[in-house]
Amino acid sequence: MMDATMNKKVEDALKLLRQARATHGDALVYPCSFGAEGSVMIDLICRPGLGVPVLTLDTGRLPQPTYDVIEAVEKRYDIRIQIVMPDSEEVASMVREHGVNLFRKSVDLRKRCCEIRKVHPLMQALKDKEAWITGRRHEQSKGRANLAQIESDPVYGLKKYNPLLDWTWDDLWTYIREHDVPYNRLHDVHYHSIGCECCTRSITVGEDERAGRWWWENDDVAAECGLHVISLKEVSGEIADGEGI
């Protein structure tokens, strides 16, 4: 059973979602990566009166359990997730030049892979939108400790809403179990932050929640994909520093 504190977190999240929906209408979208945060968020936004469209980025390298939970969510809530894919010519050109596993060769090439498979498709998907929802939480990393519930995005020019900021990992699972929410089965084998199959691993006790992403990079490198950026090198969207989904 959820206690009073947990119930308040749910109500606060719903309040922010209702505010976002009332303000932006159909120009609001939720890009979901189908981790635990995504499972909770979809359950919240599928409540009566919200109806926020959900999209996901299919990079072409997602793990099978992610596809499985997409199918389970569509069946449970009778919705269709918008599947957004990268430009096939961009991907083909990148692979021809750098190889299929370029992300292991250098940080710059890893970011290039993320840019083509994630950032460019998301930019296209958000072109006619005013605002988007994220599942980011303060607890996830040091870089997310000072996020606000509502932000102005410096790249996409949109408002960004973060309804789960104060939720803990335990809060997510209390909600998932209480409401029997479909979730990504990779969580059962100690995956926390879930991305591409090749760039995601399970974590051990005491590791940062995002330690399973791009773990081969140096500790002093900001291991993020660029979907949530902090600053820009150019207006074109070249990422200087980023906060991944």
Q: Which two tokens stand for residue 186?
A: 């990779």
Rounded Cα–Cα distance for residues 90 and 59 (Å):
12
Only one residue has tokens 């072109």, namely 127
Query: Exposed, middle or buried, 169 (CB in 10 Å: 0-12/13-18/19+)?
Result: middle
Rounded Cα–Cα distance for residues 21 and 198 (Å):
35
Rounded Cα–Cα distance for residues 30 and 158 (Å):
13
| Catalytic residue selected from 113, 196, 199, 225 | 225
Rounded Cα–Cα distance for residues 181 and 103 (Å):
33
Annotation marks residue 32 as catalytic? no
**Residues forming the active site:** 225
